[in-house]
């Protein structure tokens, strides 16, 4: 009996090793977040790893199973709401857009990126009639979007997703001839993009934040120790001049755009690096 009591079950040993490996991977991801928790995080280089189940952040590989939506937002240097818009945008202009948007709205920040992508893939194969989101009109079947393809698009958005106006919800119901009615699929989504999300300047100098808008909107901008304000602007390219503080450091400048015609909202952030003045060689 003593021999039996001292034996270790091989399955239990494998489970302990697996748990230990997961803990190490999670610790590595959290360690990377801790190292890059400063505002300069917006300058992170993020790409998709082989197989679409990992992301590579500044050369370090993190499994999507060990990264939450809240942590992914920190890696991109944007609010969690931007990540939700990125996920919404994966199915933009498709019949399954309402189902995907409803799913994304229900995902808490603690949901892993892998789980979010898997559930998004399942929802993307749902037609309006099947999802129950629309008025019950059943459209043609929609091919699901693979998790790897969804991850590629989310990473490519780089924290600057096109905004959903919450009304087009993809294409309309199928007509008699089988084509989709309405212009939801063809209509371009409202978007705000900046030329660079990491800018440098000297103390008290003015830095040019260059942006591009898909349509006329009201811009609202602010930041800690930075002047805030709002203005109405037209579509196309524009510039916001931001004066840096006298104190050296990194400052996050937040820009939000509200569409003048649709009420859609898009937002992004720019990290401003207040660098010291280099003294010339005497």
- Predicted local confidence at residue 60, as pLDDT: 92
**Per the structure block, which two tokens stand in for 74?**
């920190």
Residues β-bridged to residue 218: 232, 258
Q: Is residue 180 part of a domain?
A: no
Residue 213 and residue 143 share a domain: no
Per-residue DSSP letters for 150-214? HHHHHHHHTT-PPPP-SS--SS--B-TTSPBPSSTTTSPPP-EEES-SEEEE-TT-EEEEEEEES
Per-residue DSSP letters for 227-265? EEEEEEE-SEEEEEEEEPPSS-EEEEEEEEEEETTT--E
Rounded CA separation 226/253 (Å): 7
Domain hosting 136: range is: 16-157
Q: Is 33 left (phi over 0), alpha (psi -120 to 50) or beta?
A: alpha
What CATH number does the domain containing 233 carry?
A: 2.60.40.10
Q: Is residue 270 part of a domain?
A: yes
Residue 100 and residue 26 share a domain: yes
Residue 104 and residue 235 share a domain: no
Rounded CA separation 25/65 (Å): 10
Under 8 Å between Cβ of 91 and 189: no
Domain final residue pick, 157, 184, 211: 157
**How are the residues of the chain apportioned to helix, strand and coil, as percentages rounded to the nearest 5?**
35, 25, 40
Residue 251 and residue 144 share a domain: no
Digit-by-digit pLDDT tens for the chain (282 residues) are: 444 444 445 555 555 554 444 444 455 555 555 444 444 444 578 999 988 899 999 999 999 999 999 999 899 888 888 888 889 888 877 788 888 888 998 999 999 999 999 999 998 886 554 444 443 434 444 678 899 989 998 888 877 766 544 434 333 333 333 333 334 433 467 888 899 888 999 988 999 999 999 889 999 888 888 888 889 999 999 999 999 998 888 898 989 888 888 788 888 888 898 876 565 554
Residue 199 and residue 99 share a domain: no
- Predicted local confidence at residue 116, as pLDDT: 93
Q: How many domains does the chain have?
A: 2
Residue with tokens 């209509």: 187
Alpha-carbon distances, residue 55 vs 48, 60, 78, 149, 185 (angstroms): 4, 8, 17, 13, 30
Residue 153 and residue 196 share a domain: no
- Predicted local confidence at residue 69, as pLDDT: 93
Cα Rg for the chain, rounded, in angstroms? 23
Alpha-carbon distances, residue 170 vs 32, 159, 165, 213, 240 (angstroms): 37, 22, 11, 21, 33
- Predicted local confidence at residue 101, as pLDDT: 87
Q: Is residue 215 part of a domain?
A: yes
Rounded CA separation 45/76 (Å): 9
Residue 201 and residue 149 share a domain: no
Q: Is residue 167 part of a domain?
A: no
* Listed residue (134, 66, 63) closest to 98, CA to CA: 134
């Amino acid at each position: 009996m003593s021999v039996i009591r001292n034996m270790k079950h091989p399955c239990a040993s494998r489970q302990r090793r697996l748990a230990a490996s997961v803990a190490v991977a999670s610790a590595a991801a959290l360690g990377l977040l801790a190292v890059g928790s400063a505002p300069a995080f917006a300058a992170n280089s993020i790409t998709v790893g082989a197989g679409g189940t990992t992301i590579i952040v500044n050369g370090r590989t993190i499994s999507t199973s060990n990264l939450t939506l809240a942590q992914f937002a920190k890696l991109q240097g944007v609010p969690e709401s931007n990540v939700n818009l990125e996920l919404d945008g994966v199915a933009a202009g498709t019949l399954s857009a309402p189902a995907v948007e409803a799913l994304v709205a229900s995902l808490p920040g603690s949901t892993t990126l892998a789980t979010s992508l898997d559930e998004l893939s399942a929802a993307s194969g749902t037609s309006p009639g099947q999802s129950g989101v629309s008025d019950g009109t059943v459209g043609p079947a929609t091919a699901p979007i693979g998790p790897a393809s969804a991850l590629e698009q989310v990473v490519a958005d780089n924290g600057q997703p096109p905004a959903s106006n919450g009304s087009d919800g993809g294409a309309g119901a199928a007509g008699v001839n089988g084509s989709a009615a309405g212009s939801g699929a063809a209509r371009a989504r409202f978007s705000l993009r900046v030329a660079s999300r990491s800018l440098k300047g000297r103390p008290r100098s003015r830095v040019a934040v260059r942006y591009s808008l898909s349509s006329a909107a009201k811009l609202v901008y602010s930041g800690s120790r930075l002047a805030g304000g709002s203005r109405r602007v037209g579509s196309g390219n524009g510039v916001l001049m931001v004066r840096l503080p006298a104190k050296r450091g990194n400052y996050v400048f937040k820009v939000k755009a509200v569409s003048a015609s649709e009420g859609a909202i898009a937002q992004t952030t720019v990290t401003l690096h207040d660098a010291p003045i280099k003294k010339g060689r005497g």
